[in-house]
Every structure is written in C-alpha cells, then in structure tokens.
Structure 1
Amino acid sequence: MKSVKILILLMLAMFGNVYAQTESAILGAWESDKKDVRIEIFKHGDKYYGKYLWGKEIVESDGVTSKKDVKNPDEKLRSRNLIGITSLTGLKWEGKEYVDGKIYNAPSGDTYKCKIWIKNDKLYLRGYLGFSLLGQTATFHRYRQ
C-alpha cells in the first residue's frame, strides 16, 4: 500500500512538471519579482496577450487610482487609464517559448519586441529592440491575492 502512495505522488510530481511546460502554463496573473507590476496573460485565438492589473509606475501616489496613458504616441489614446490596457500583444507558442510578441511600456510610451519563457515556475519576459541580445529580462512569479 505504501508503494502505491509513493507511485501516485511520483506521478503527480511528473504531471506537474509536464504541465509547467505546456502551452497554457503562461495563462493567469503574474507579479514581477521586484513586486512593481502585475499582469494577467490570456489567450485570444491562437495568440497570447497581457494586460496591466497594477503597477507602481501606472498608479497615482494613492496606489490605487490609474494614471492616464499620457506618453502614448497615439494622441487619441492619451486619456485612457493604464490599468487594464493590453500591453502585451501577439505572442505565439513555439514549443518551448512564446515569441513574436510586442510589449508596450506605458510609463515611457515605447513599444518593444518581446518573448516569454517559463522555467522552474518563473516567467521570464524579455523585451528588446531588433535582436534579443539587445534587451532586458524581467522575472515574474504567479500572483495569488
């Protein structure tokens, strides 16, 4: 009986590792390891997107009220709230990572190419100009309220 329990626990552990590597592992809420931004990643069609849930640079000094998108290159969007905007767009799953995406950095008004991968229950988001080598990587963990 004890060996059956051990076998079941091993199978659950193996399933957990497999699940972490599946395409849907990216879905849900994530918080940066610096705890300065939270995003929610969702799927629409065959691509993945992310929206701002909260961020130190996108809320007013009260920590709650959303700032406006004042640095957006499109003047028509400058009056919208930053909380809830889709800042991550067009990511495609390619077996081990999510590629060909774009990330809009609302505090600066800049848009970068990006890719994401998950390793050891951490999400790594790399934003870059031109080549992936010319960029920065932010690390995220699952956000649980």
Structure 2
Amino acid sequence: MLALALLLATPSPADTQASQLTGDWKTPNNSVLRIQPCEGSHLCVRIVTIGPKDQPSHDVNNPDASLRARDLCGLMIGTAFTPDGAAAAKDGKVYDPESGKTYSAKMQAEGDSLNLRGFIGFSLLGRTETWHRTSTAVAACK
C-alpha cells in the first residue's frame, strides 16, 4: 500500500522535466497563456485571457474560414512541445492568431522570463517573443 502511495505521489517525467515552464505567462500584448502537460509527456499552451479589448476575441485570421468564428479564449495554440530539461522544450508547434499561421517552436525559461521562438524550417529563420511569469491567480476563460 505504501509503495502504491509513493508511486502515485511521484511526479510524471513531464512534470519534473518541465517544472520551470508550466504555469501562467503574460505576453507582450497582456494576454495570459498557460503552459501545461498534455498528450503524455508533452506540453501544450492555451490562451487563458485575451489582452486589450481592441484585439479580436475570435480566430478571425484563421486560413480555414470555418474556424474564424471560434473563440480565441481557451484555444490551444501550442502543442507537442517535448521537455528538454527543467527549463526548455523543443519540437513544438505554435499557432499565431494574429497572422493565422502555424510555426515550429521551442521555448526556454530563465527565471521569470520565457523565450518562445517560432520559426519555419530552421530556428535561425524565426522570431522570439518574451513572456513573463504572472504570479497573480488567473481564472481560465470559458
């Protein structure tokens, strides 16, 4: 019985490897994104709150016209990130609602900052965005 309790209390590899990545992060446009375990040992990124009110609340730039009416709030925009130690993840995909494009991506946390690099093909051909950890409790949108 004790062995079972210890087994259940042991963090999964995704939890321990990505401990510095998981949580809520504020983007430059003041949206809040949540990095969380998903799909086995991978990490995903979900929109928790949308920044300023002048930003669209729906996926209006999606290349698939049938998806343009879906809410951005709650949308999974990052998938399949493979933890690479406690503070990094690689081989992910990130959807940019502002452009409607999906990019390969990797992320690296340094203290309370996280650098997400989106790119096409090689990481040299990309752009890095810095997010900041938010310690304020954020209720997920519906």
Q: Which TM class, normalised by the smaller chain length?
A: 0.7 to 0.9
Query: 1:51 offset after TM fit, Å?
Result: 0.9
Distance 2:69 2:43 in 1: 25
TM-score (normalised: structure 1): 0.73
**What SS class does the counterpart of residue 25 from structure 1 fall into?**
coil
Query: Are 2:31 and 1:37 equivalent residues in the alignment?
Result: yes
RMSD: 2.1
Query: Are 2:62 and 1:67 equivalent residues in the alignment?
Result: no
Is the CA contact (8 Å cut-off) linking 2:106 and 2:117 kept in structure 1?
Answer: yes
Which has the greater radius of gyration? 1
Q: Residue type matched to 1:85 in 2?
A: L
Partner of 1:46: 41
Higher helix share: 1
Partner of 2:126: 135
Gaps in structure 1 of 5+ consecutive residues: 1-20
Gaps in structure 2 of 5+ consecutive residues: 1-15, 137-142
Alignment coverage as a number of residue pairs: 119
**Which aligned segments of 4 or more residues in structure 1 are displaced greater than 6 angstroms?**
none
Distance 2:20 2:133 in 1: 10
Query: Are 2:97 and 1:106 equivalent residues in the alignment?
Result: yes
Identity, % of aligned pairs?
34
Distance 2:131 2:60 in 1: 26
Distance 1:103 1:40 in 2: 13
